[in-house]
Amino acid sequence: MTTPLSPNLGLSLVRVTEAAALAAGRWMGRGDAYRANKDATEAMAAAFNSLDIDGRIVIGEEGRLGISSPLNSGQHIGRGGGEILDVVADPIDGTNLLVRGRPGAISVAAIAPRGTMWSPTPAVYMDKIVVGAEAADVLVPECMDAPAAWTLALVARAKGKPVRDLVVFVLDRPRHHDLIDEIQATGARIMTRGHGDIAGALLAASDHSNIDILMGIGGISEGVIAACGVKSLRGAMLGRLAPQSAQELQSIQDAGLDTQRILTCEEMVKGNNIYFAATGITDGSLFLGVRYRGTRAETFSWILRCETGTRRQVHTEHILDAEGNA
Verify that 101 and 37 share a domain, yes or no. Answer: yes
Average pLDDT score over residue span 118-134:
95
Nearest Cα to 280, choosing from 320, 304, 314? Answer: 314
What pLDDT was estimated at residue 208? 85
CA torsion angle 46 47 49 53 (round to 10): -170
104: containing domain: 8-116+274-319
- Whether 107 has a pLDDT exceeding 80, the answer reads yes
Helix axis angle, 148-159 to 177-186, nearest 10°: 50
Q: What is the mean pLDDT of residues 13-36?
A: 97
Looking at the fold, whether 45 and 161 belong to one and the same domain comes out as no
Q: What is residue 65's predicted lDDT score, i.e. its pLDDT?
A: 54
Cβ pair 73, 84 in contact under 8 A: no
Model confidence at 325, in pLDDT bands (50, 70, 90)? confident
Residue 8's pLDDT is what?
86
Number of folded domains that form the chain: 2
A 10 A CB-CB count for 258 gives: 12
183 and 299 fall within a common domain: no
Element (H, E) at 279: strand 275-280
Does residue 260 have a pLDDT over 70? Answer: yes
User: What is the residue-averaged pLDDT of the chain?
Assistant: 94
The predicted pLDDT at position 62 comes to: 65
Q: Say if residue 258 is in the same domain as residue 297.
A: no
Q: Is residue 20 within 8 Å of residue 46, measured between CB atoms? A: no
225 assigned to some structural domain: yes
Res 126 pLDDT > 60: yes
| Claim to verify: residue 292 and residue 177 sit in the same structural domain | no
**pLDDT single digits (tens) 195-217:** 999 999 999 999 889 999 999 99
Position 299 in a domain: yes
What is the pLDDT averaged over residues 143-172?
Answer: 98
**139 has pLDDT over 90:** yes
Residue 182 or residue 80, greater confidence: 182
Residue 326 domain-assigned (yes or no): no
Q: Is 62 exposed, middle or buried (0-12, 13-18, 19+ CB in 10 A)?
A: buried
User: Tens digits of per-residue pLDDT, 27-76?
Assistant: 999 999 999 999 999 999 999 999 999 999 998 876 555 567 889 889 99
Is residue 161 very low, low, confident or very high in pLDDT (cuts 50, 70, 90)?
very high
In a domain, 18, yes or no: yes
pTM for this prediction: 0.94
User: Are residue 129 and residue 110 in the same domain, yes or no?
Assistant: no
Of 232, 252, 268, the position where a domain reaches its end is: 268
Instruction: Report yes or no: 121 and 256 within 8 Å, Cβ to Cβ.
Output: no
